[in-house]
Structure 1
């Protein structure tokens, strides 16, 4: 019950901030939302997109799933994630899509580990098959390296895989080609506190926000 009370008190602070004396933001949001960014992130409780980016309500349209994956555009694509992406791009006409991955991702570690079906349904295993090509590639090129290095490589490569899968949606590809939509791959290093962004020109992740220098 202590957690519930924490959440209720947290809502009280939220209410005071956005519905108290200064309520202009929600006055403007009451009729409709106009976020400029779709962020596809992981469900991991340590990686809250709103908290990490210091966003206010209305800034981000957020889609979260295990390992921040984007399924390719196929007739049997999972409709939950695909429909949210479709709504953000086609209805809200966001200007950018950020795929935000992170270090120590449990979904990626499960993908890279021995295959162990979970219970009767194994929804997690079935979902993570989206990134199986990435896992095979990492095992093939880095199989002689340590597990931590393999996992990090797979975490980063899966972000690029999701960016590639975004371009299989015709309405995304069309808007990208027209210069109306930008795609970004970001990686949050939980261990150092750094934020990395993929550079297509350099073909690697480069620091957007460097780690803090500790005394």
Structure 2
């Protein structure tokens, strides 16, 4: 579903860094909210990391213009349906804003800076003892050699979700206090192999430690 702007769209000046607007959502859903931009090279770019409309009512959102060649045109705001289910609803969009900065404070590049990637755990060398806790669902986890990616082994999680009114979850739990996440870490990444398309979510749990 698209909201298409008249003409060539809204101008994004050379010092633009984000697009912001208020969104009214009438029910929680799994649709993605994104924007479409025509950059200065006349290339179509699609942006946005809002991968779940998990609110009801009004919410202000901002979408960064990282990596976009400016000046550009904002041409569309749109929803992407990711689950093949029948669904109907409506959203309202208000107070569209173009966030800019002073030219002398603009970075030389709006590309996302590279970060150091550190492999925290290699299953084939660290011999991590994984366990699984069922949550309303039978589950088991084991280190195996099938479906490996870059290493020589992988961790397989077997689960069976049954009909239940509650949200169900199957866990792979790291032993002890888990893997330490150092200061300055920006993302947690992993390779995942799925045997079929499902509506399940893949998430990570992090325990934040407060200074005493």
Give the TM-score range, shorter chain.
under 0.3
TM-score scaled to structure 1, two decimals? 0.22
- Between Structure 1 and Structure 2, the one with more strand by share is 2
**Rg bigger for which structure?**
2
